[in-house]
Amino acid sequence: MNPTMDRIIIGILAFGYMVAAAILVVTALGWTTPLMVLQYYLLASINHWLLGITGAFLFILFLSLFISVFRSKPVRDTIVHETSLGSIKVTLPALENLVVKAARSVPGVREVKTQIKTQYDNTVSIQLKVQVQPDLNIPQMTEDLQIKVQEYMTKTTGINVHNVKVIVSKISWEAKSRVE
């Protein structure tokens, strides 16, 4: 199932638990009418089919949620690269530092913020939010940025880059301060 459907199922189940908890609380406080109505409903012979269908529906709902929890891959904070001598684990913060280094080497890039997501096939997707200098050909500069980051990541870590998305968040008119 998809995450939206999982959230809907969890919401329905949470609402059901809240109703059950409310019935228990008011019964504990001495108001037995909800408990008697529930008992009458459960014991009425005409409601057996409805009760069975509701139980089967809830069982299928729980089962699908249970299966989707164990099918989903856990979020990883490392990338494993297999070599002939063993495996190499590279953390996402280390990869982010490499991406920032590669991005800053592209002329016209002022500031870089990165977000790296791991994919199921041991590749990464990279999103860059950059501030650039004015008077640049932004499409050309961002394409150069994508190529440079992808090539640098593959060359330095051996990890394949699925895609590089670039968001130009600001065009910076301020001059870069240099320390001399």
Task: Tell me the C-alpha to C-alpha distance, in Å, between residue 105 and each of 102, 109, 131, 133, 140.
Answer: 5, 8, 13, 13, 15
Where is 153: in which H helix or E strand?
helix 138-157
pLDDT for 120 equals: 72
pLDDT for 165 equals: 95
**Which has more confidence, 99 or 40?**
99
In order, the DSSP letters of 63-132 are HHHHHHHHHSPPPPSEEEEEETTEEEEEEHHHHHHHHHHHHHTSTTEEEEEEEEEE-TTS-EEEEEEEEE
The residue count of the chain comes to 180
pLDDT for 172 equals: 79
76 with 116: CB under 8 angstroms?
no
Which residue bears the tokens 């913060």? Answer: 93
Q: Which segment of 26-30, 64-68, 78-82, 159-163 scores lowest on mean pLDDT? A: 78-82
* pLDDT tens track for 52-72: 888 888 888 888 777 877 776
Strands 109-118 and 124-132: antiparallel
* pLDDT tens track for 139-155: 999 999 999 999 999 99
Using the predicted structure, report yes or no on whether residue 46 has a pLDDT greater than 80: no
Using the predicted structure, report yes or no on whether residue 84 has a pLDDT greater than 60: yes
